[in-house]
A and B are shown apart, each in its own frame.
Chain A
Amino acid sequence: MTGRTERLRRESLETPPRISAERAVQLTEFYEENAGRWSVPVTRARSFLHLCERKTIHLGDGELIIGERGPAPKVVPTFPELTCHSEEDLRILNSRPKTWYRVDDECLGFYREKVIPYWRGRTMRERIFAELSPEWHAAYEAGIFTEFMEQRAPGHTVLDDKIYRRGLLDFKRDIESALAALDFLCDPEALDKREALKSFAISCDAVMGFAQRHADLARERAAAERDAGRKAELLKIAEVCERVPAHAPRDFHEALQAYWFCHLAVITELNGWDAFSPGHLDQHLLPFYERGLADGTLTRETARELLECFFIKFNNHPAPPKVGVTAAESGTYTDFANLNLGGLLHDGTDGSNEVSHLLLEIIDEMHLLQPSSNIQLSRKSPDAFLKHALQVIGKGYGFPSVFNADAVVQEQLRQGKTLEDARAGGCSGCVEVGAFGKEAYILTGYFNLPKVFELALHNGVDPRTGRQLGPQTGEPESFASFDEVFAAYRAQFRHFLNLKLCGNRIIQRLYATQMPAPFLSVLTDDCIRSGRDYNAGGARYNNTYVQFVGLGTLTDSLSAVRELCYEGMGSTRGPRVTSGGPPDAPVNTTDPVWETAQGLSAGGRKEHAGGVWSSSESAARLFSTEDKRVCVEPAAGAHYSRRNLPHFEKPWAIYHITFSAVDGHQLAPEDREIVMECIRHWDGRRYRLSAACVMPDHVHLIIQPGIESRDVDGEPVFYSLTKILHTIKSFTAHRINKRAERDGGVWQKESFDRFLRSDADLQEKIHYLCRNPWDAGIVAPNEPYPWVWPSEAMANTAEGSTRGPRVTSGGPPDAPANVADTVPGTAQGLSAGGRKEHAGGAWSPTLSLAEFVAAMDRDFTDAEPLRLRLLNKTPKYGNDNPRADELMTWIFDTCVEELDGRPDGRGGSYRVEMLPTTCHVYFGSVTGATPDGRRAGKPLSEGISPVQGADRNGPTAVVQSAAKMDHLKSGGTLLNLKFTPSLVATEEGLNKWGHLVRGYFRMDGHHVQFNIVDADTLRRARENPEEHRDLIVRVAGYSDYFCDLSEALQEEIIQRTEHEGF
């Protein structure tokens, strides 16, 4: 920075933001006098002219680029024609602790006397709200969606290169030609078009007059200036302002000033969302930069100073504050103007250049809140460009963010744009793609996905208010399968999306007819050619977005529901056979997959059990209990496992296992008790026990191993017989030896297992087992033998009914009450981790959805173990876990299927965007506890990022998960990653970081931004590890999860991070 820009920057930072009533008052005066005299477009254009002719203009000391929206830097005008602040709003703005705006008494007086009395009932906000349905209002108030246009006008737009090639006078000639070409004979819209074109021309005059006033001011100041240097600068400013934007700029200075006047004009005419952005500034400025260096009128340093002055202008313009209840909450000063660096040229070659690097240096040095910046990284972008950007990002400002330029082009091609227009496009304020200077792409509001799921879990009722907001899609207990749960969600989703789109149609029409934007239309192709306003579909391309929020929270919630209530490790059902995609909405649709998987009784596994029971298969014995080695072909799907014997492990197989005591060892009754207790202990944890018998010298058991985990593809991995037997044998041996105070082996190493192939086979074996002590003559026929389970009588009962609950379902035997009592861990209520009736581990946790919902409704009060289990033990999005990520794609695909391509109100199409800005906080505040373990009121996940703290496999896993959605079908996704400064401090760390980004983009990722965490974040992580389990820090020569480190080490790293500073 030079001394000048350092001072200007400081002034910009230190000047408190203020509200000015000037624009409101001048506009009110204009409307009081002129409302109704002309057509709406001409009235709007004339009001704009009125403002440009009268508003206070400013030329600060030392400034090179001039012009302010308000009367002075950091002074913000208001837009009562859109939203009129109440006196209370203004007082709140003045007094709120964060992002306050000073409001003086004079301003309040103007509002009280003049502005409010005129605009009450006439603002766009009030007109919009009056037209929307009660259902829309109910959903809006419940926090299911927000509405952008109730606060600001459609905007989100970016300029292309046209103003650097042509002046407003050129555009006026175009307008005149268009007017001349109007066909009043045949075109029914000819009058509308004439009025629009007239408004365009008036707006050009307004802006040129506005520039001339600045030129005059500069000359006036020059005349009074004593300092020769400054005098020359002022004369140059005057010359620049006389030239642009009426004519095309000739040099670097004129180019910047031309843009700035256009910027001011767009944000003065209306208060469009995200202000206005210069787009590919580096590409636009390059010709002027090169020409200046070549002819000696510019140096790198003077160019840099001009750019710094230009940056400060953005920072002088905090966003106009909102009205209504949200005024009490903190917002942000940023107005989301955004620079695109790099990217592609029209011809598809790399667009980064020397000015890109110059801009990166300035972003780094000035680190102002505004303008925001991003790099458009293509396969063709050089690594040096990426690395330079990463160095800046590594400083921890949060910008520039990084976009995939190739994906941005493809997304736009999918939207039907030409290749050239797509390449000249990029991203505007947030992450949405647009054809710069040729498109109206309007964001209409955020959409709360987890809230919709909350309604699906409550039959359409909002549990916060008890109001029936959505359709009745079923009480939780009515969902027989997870697909039915998802179908209910989808039905609710469709309902509220449609409600939102109906509202949008009203709002878009109101803007098209009542609130045109003439000057923005001049800057946007092809409004002049079509004679239509930007807000009425005049642009070459029109797209409308709905921004979906809470993808991570919803994914993890669905995952938890599926895992705990339907198909998880603890479920009695088999895994889903196929996963074709999200089930469709009709609530009563029966998914064919489930029909097969449901089977016979509750939790039946017909599909899988089929292989076990139905015995069209040859009854060839795999192994006999006597014969050790009979070699056969493995059954399909069987896993071969190396142990003492060849074994085949088949999903959901039931085995008869026998193992013997070492030769000569006889188990005392106490020992048999130990063994039986141990076998019973694991029932419901690692296997289901059908029968067991502990004989004095050997043990029989019939078990069905449960699911231990899921492999990398999400397929179930069953407990191996090896593991099961090892646990039983080593534990009992240890206890038996301890009791007898002896050493040495208890059990023979080998065990025998036999895969039971049919119901009859199973019956026979259970029978055999339960009669064994009597048949073997260990006990007399009428004496009891306590180490058989279940008792012979029960076995007979089971045998009596061919499909008794135990045998056919493979379910836990209906043990008598006294047995249940002795099973440790039974009768643990919900509070002990949600195990309703059976002990923990493999089979247990089948929690009914109704109970789960009840626990959430209590915000997990008294159910902390359940909540922790949800946080720690269910599959989470962001870990490259296929089980969870599959659900993420269902949610995303549902958004695309329900929204993408539907017609909007301006002749364009709807598009999906996954963007939260800060709305995940508000949406969280209106959403109760969610099944992922999130407490009521806490923020939702943002963008497509995983839930805060849920990703625990490092950044490549996050990125892999995020890449599983088809980004190219969206119009923008936002991914946040956290890094600590030490990870990216070295050259090598920086390189690897770059490779991470390139890898993500190779998989079509759309955008990623990096939060470089500071010491405060680490402190918060120490206090509240739950939400920060994803934080990786470099310890020394290696990296680790921060929350896994000892307290002392955590403290040390906090100190070090603090020391490194920024």
Chain B
Amino acid sequence: MIRGLITNVQRYSVHDGPGIRTTVFLKGCPLNCAWCHNPETISPRPELMVITGRCVRCGQCADACPNHAPVGMGDSPAALVEARADCLVCGACVEVCPADGRRMVGREFTVPELLTKVSRDRVFFEESGGGVTFSGGEPLSQFEFLLAGATACRKGGLHVAVDTSGFALRERFEALVPHVDLFLYDLKSLDDGVHRRFCGVSNRLILENLRWLSANHGNLWLRIPVIPGVNDDPRELAALATFAAGLDGVKQVHLLPYHAVGAGKRERLGASAAGLAFQTPSTAALGAARAVFRKAGLETRIGG
């Protein structure tokens, strides 16, 4: 049976599509955006997240750890790195930590399990026109599971949205299109150099898929993170707006202001470097950006 690796099934998710939704975060992403606010979804493997501030030094993790060296108990950064290197991510320390200071990021679900779980809020989906959103990570990276999950949800009468970076083979989109009501399509930059530099991959495939989806699915919400110094230049924004306005399938544009929430999460995952720091865009700048898109005739809002 197909299993998907999922970091979180979030209920009353109100920023990921229409109505009240349950968002399923699939783990693993081929991109590595410098501003990623869900860095725990990048790696395709289970990870251990440690919230050191909650530690009460009870030592139960040390007992439970087969190495007797649980990540996060060492005081020095060097000890931390070493513990990470030896860590099996077996989850034993997570099970015993009484303080909720440790979390396993990534749990396997079968499709029926997932369907049972997301169906629990059906009454709210029905009241609000909501449903299920598959997000991530890049959900198309776990394609078999995504396809089976989306099909099962649809069959169960649930509205299905897929939040994608667009970085996936065309065939996958082709197979997915009949089973998805709405695509939330992330677009970072039209400049391939910028895209490669900050996201780690070229945007060619992403743009091609976007054009194809626009023509062949027709219900897309474009989601553009606004990252100062990366894509908030007026010319860049205008180019994005012009590009988006030329796509018939794009029904709405959401400008997602950069936020530093990812940095704290990276730390808890044991990332050594803090990564690049960006500014949070000002309200005025966001308003101006929105105006650019509205002027291009696009229904635009700030935030998801």
Contacts and interface: CB of A to CB of B under 8 A. Distances in A.
B295 interface: no
Contacts, number: 161
B37 interface: yes
B261 A1045 contact: yes
A694 interface: no
A957 interface: yes
Nearest to A1002: B123
B88 A833 contact: no
A1039 interface: yes
Given A866-B98, A1037-B257, A731 B63 contact: no
Contacts of A510: none
Contacts of A954: 10-12
A332 to B, nearest CB: 32
Contacts of A1037: 15, 254, 256-257, 259, 303-304
B68 interface: yes
Nearest to B113: A711
A925 interface: no
Interface in A986-1004: 986, 988-989, 991-992, 995-996, 998-999, 1002-1003
A989 B120 CA distance: 21
Given A872-B100, A992-B14, A1036 B1 contact: no
A1035 B66 contact: no
A727 B19 CA distance: 41
Given A734-B88, A872-B100, A998 B56 contact: no
A865 B92 contact: no
Nearest to B64: A840
A295 B121 CA distance: 51
Interface in A662-695: 678, 681-682, 685-686
Nearest to B116: A712
B185 to A, nearest CB: 15
Nearest to A840: B96
Contact of A825 (B16, B64, B130, B280): B64
B95 A840 contact: yes
A960 B128 contact: no
A956 B12 contact: yes
B15 A824 contact: no
Nearest to A708: B95
Contacts of B88: 727, 730-731, 734
Contacts of B64: 685, 825, 839-841
A841 B88 CA distance: 17
A1002 B261 CA distance: 36
B127 A999 contact: yes
Interface residues of B, number: 54
Interface in B75-127: 86, 88, 90, 92, 95-96, 98-100, 113, 116-117, 120-121, 123-124, 126-127
B123 to A, nearest CB: 5
Nearest to A720: B108
B284 interface: no
A880 interface: yes
Nearest to A953: B11
B122 to A, nearest CB: 9
A814 B228 CA distance: 65
A731 B60 contact: no
B59 A1038 contact: no
B234 interface: no
Contacts of B60: 825, 828, 832-833, 840, 865
Given A868-B99, A956-B124, A1038-B37, A1048 B90 contact: no
Contact of A727 (B11, B66, B280): B66
Contacts of B256: 1036-1037
Contacts of B120: 712, 880, 957, 960
A833 B20 contact: no
B127 A995 contact: yes
Contacts of B100: 868, 871-873
B49 to A, nearest CB: 10
A519 to B, nearest CB: 45
Contacts of A983: 14
A989 B14 contact: yes
Interface string B288-304: 00000000000000011
A996 B12 contact: yes
Nearest to A1036: B259
A739 interface: no
Contacts of B257: 1036-1037
Contacts of B124: 956, 995-996, 999
B261 A1035 contact: yes
B224 to A, nearest CB: 11
Nearest to A983: B14
B68 A999 contact: no
B264 interface: yes
B273 interface: no
Contacts of B15: 1037-1039
A1039 B303 contact: no
A1038 B304 contact: yes
Interface string B196-208: 0000000000000
A37 interface: no
A640 B63 contact: no
Contacts of A957: 11-12, 120
A869 interface: yes
A864 B11 contact: no
B260 interface: yes
A998 B127 contact: yes
B276 interface: no
A1046 interface: yes
A1040 to B, nearest CB: 7
A1049 interface: yes
A811 to B, nearest CB: 20
Contacts of A871: 98, 100
B303 to A, nearest CB: 4
Given A832-B58, A1036-B303, A1049 B12 contact: no
Interface string B253-273: 010111111011001000000
Contacts of B20: 956, 992, 995-996, 999
A1039 B8 CA distance: 13
Given A712-B117, A840-B95, A996-B12, A1049 B260 contact: yes
A852 to B, nearest CB: 15
A681 B66 contact: yes
Nearest to B51: A1044
Nearest to A1046: B264
Interface in A720-774: 727, 730-731, 734
Contact of B90 (A731, A832, A992, A996): A731
Interface string B1-21: 100000000111111100110
Nearest to A933: B98
Given A731-B90, A956-B121, A1002 B95 contact: no
A642 interface: yes
Contacts of A106: none
B86 A734 contact: yes
A1040 B11 CA distance: 11
A916 interface: no
Interface string A804-826: 00000000000000000000110
14 contacts: A685-B92, A825-B60, A828-B63, A833-B60, A833-B98, A865-B60, A868-B99, A873-B98, A960-B121, A995-B130, A1037-B15, A1038-B16, A1039-B14, A1046-B264
Interface of B: 1, 10-16, 19-20, 37, 51, 56, 58-60, 63-64, 66-68, 86, 88, 90, 92, 95-96, 98-100, 113, 116-117, 120-121, 123-124, 126-128, 130, 254, 256-261, 263-264, 267, 280, 303-304
Given A868-B99, A996-B12, 15 more contacts: A832-B60, A841-B64, A864-B58, A871-B100, A872-B98, A956-B12, A957-B120, A992-B130, A998-B127, A999-B20, A999-B124, A1003-B123, A1036-B256, A1037-B254, A1046-B263
List 5 A-B pairs, minimum CB-CB distance, nearest first.
Answer: A1046-B264, A995-B128, A825-B63, A869-B98, A868-B98
